[in-house]
A and B are shown apart, each in its own frame.
Chain A
Amino acid sequence: MVSNSEKYTEKKARRSLSEEKRHSIAGYLFVSPFFILFAIFGLFPMLFSFYLAFFKWNGLGEMTYNGINNFTIIFNDPIFWKSIYNTVIIGLLGTVPQLIVAFLLAYALNSQVLRFKNTFRVAIFMPYVTSIVAVAILFSIIFNNQSFGLVNSFLGIFGVEPIVFTQSEWGAKIAIAAMIFWRWVGYNTIIYLAGMQSISNDLYEAAKIDGATLTQQLRYITLPMLKPFVLFTVFMGTIGSLQIFTEPLIFFGGNLREEGITVVAYLYRDAFENNFFGTASAVAIVLFVIIMVFSVINLLVTNRLGRGKARKA
Chain B
Amino acid sequence: MAVPELHRFKLDNGLRVVLAPDPTAPVVGVAVHYDVGFRSEPEGRTGFAHLFEHLMFQGSESLEKLAHFRHVQSSGGTFNGSTHPDYTDYYEVLPAAALERALFLEADRMRAPKLTQENLANQIDVVKEEIRLNVLNRPYGGFPWILLPPVLYSTFANAHNGYGDFVDLENATLDDCAAFFDTFYAPANAVLTVAGDFEVGRARELVEKHFGDVPFRPAPPRRSFAEPRPAEELRGFHTDPHAPLPALAVGYRMPDPVGELDAYVANLVLAGVLTDGDGSRLQQRLVHRDAIVTDIGAGAGLFGPFEARDPDTFSITAIHAPEVTGDRVLKAIDEEIDLLATTPPDERELAKVTARWVAGLHSDHDRMVSRTLALGAFELLYDDASLVHGLADRFAAVTADDVAAAAKALRPDSRAVLIVQPEGGSK
A and B assemble together? no
Task: List the interface of chain B (C-beta within 8 A of A).
Answer: none
Interface residues of A (CB under 8 A from B): none
